[in-house]
């Protein structure tokens, strides 16, 4: 049986404002590099080394993305209208339905070898949600989960008041994750009027800015997220200087 060398160090990268497709390509390259490390280790046990983990923070120009289980009709704009509004659109290979990424939203892409932590996708999703829940708690916002849905919600279980503040969609191959979460901090919520967010028709979307009545620096949220990610995943974060 192969001996797995566990590595709980996670390299943090901040890509700033970056085109979605460019970020997706960079993500895919990191994801594949970790898979390649795992394959090498499997066939070269005497030379095996610990696999790498990454935690990427990024902000995207306006873009709609559609997960592999989503429905294209949940995009309520034509190609012409998308072009007129300057919004990109990409079907991709993550789980989930349609969502929006744009300025003022903190997007987090953990590229994690779960063999270094635990091989349980549901636990992984709940841990990511918990990171956001704990960040919101620091602003006296009581957030939680909605039965039958992923992501982080406010007033879950209160029907007409339920609203989503953080969407989630991941891909996992050979226990290596990619894609992640989209946390609405100062996001322009008008963009969500052009889609049926996450394919859920009777729920609304919110942002931290809307709930607090003021803007919050993304860097501040990023630092709080890192703190809770480190504690919840019992990970050691290392900062990429590039």
Where do the structural domains in the chain lie, given as residue ranges? 14-233
Give the three-class secondary structure for 61. coil
71 versus 18: which is more confidently predicted? Answer: 18
pLDDT at 2 over 60: no
pLDDT at 199 over 90: no
135 and 129 Cβ atoms separated by less than 8 Å:
no
> Which token pair is 15?
């890509």
Average pLDDT over residues 186-204: 83
Q: What's the pTM?
A: 0.93
Q: For residues 207 and 215, give the distance between their C-alpha atoms in angstroms, rounded to a whole number.
A: 10
pLDDT at 157 over 80: no
pLDDT at 80 over 50: yes
117 versus 2: which is more confidently predicted? Answer: 117
Nearest to 166 by CA among 177, 176, 180: 180
Q: What is the DSSP letter of 49?
A: -
CATH class of 14-233: alpha beta
Q: What is the DSSP letter of 171?
A: E
Residue 84 to residues 79, 144, 223: CA-CA distances in angstroms?
9, 37, 36
| pLDDT band with cut points at 50, 70 and 90 for residue 239 | confident
198 is catalytic: yes
Q: Which residue in 131, 166, 172, 198 is the catalytic one? A: 198
| pLDDT band with cut points at 50, 70 and 90 for residue 69 | confident
Residue 220 to residues 28, 132, 135, 223: CA-CA distances in angstroms?
27, 13, 10, 5
- Neighbouring-strand partners of residue 131: none
């Amino acid at each position: 049986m192969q001996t797995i060398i566990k590595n709980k160090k996670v390299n943090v990268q901040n890509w700033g404002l970056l085109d979605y497709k460019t970020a997706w390509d960079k993500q895919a390259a990191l994801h594949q590099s970790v898979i390649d490390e795992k394959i090498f280790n499997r066939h070269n046990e005497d030379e095996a080394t610990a696999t790498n983990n990454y935690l990427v923070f990024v902000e995207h120009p306006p873009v709609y993305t559609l997960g592999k289980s989503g429905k294209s009709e949940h995009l309520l704009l034509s190609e012409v209208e998308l072009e007129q509004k300057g919004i990109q659109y990409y079907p991709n290979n993550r789980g989930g339905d349609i969502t929006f990424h744009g300025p003022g939203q903190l997007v987090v892409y953990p590229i994690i070898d779960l063999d270094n932590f635990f091989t349980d996708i549901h636990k992984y999703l709940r841990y990511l949600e918990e990171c956001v829940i704990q960040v919101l708690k620091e602003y006296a916002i009581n957030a939680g989960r909605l039965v039958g849905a992923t992501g982080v919600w406010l007033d879950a279980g209160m029907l007409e008041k339920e609203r989503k503040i953080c969407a989630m969609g991941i891909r996992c191959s050979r226990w290596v994750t990619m894609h992640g979460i989209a946390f609405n901090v100062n996001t322009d919520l008008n963009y969500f009027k052009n889609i049926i967010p996450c394919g859920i028709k009777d729920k609304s979307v919110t942002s931290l800015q809307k709930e607090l009545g003021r803007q919050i620096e993304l860097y501040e949220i990023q630092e709080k997220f890192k703190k809770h990610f480190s504690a919840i995943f019992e990970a050691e974060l290392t900062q990429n200087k590039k």
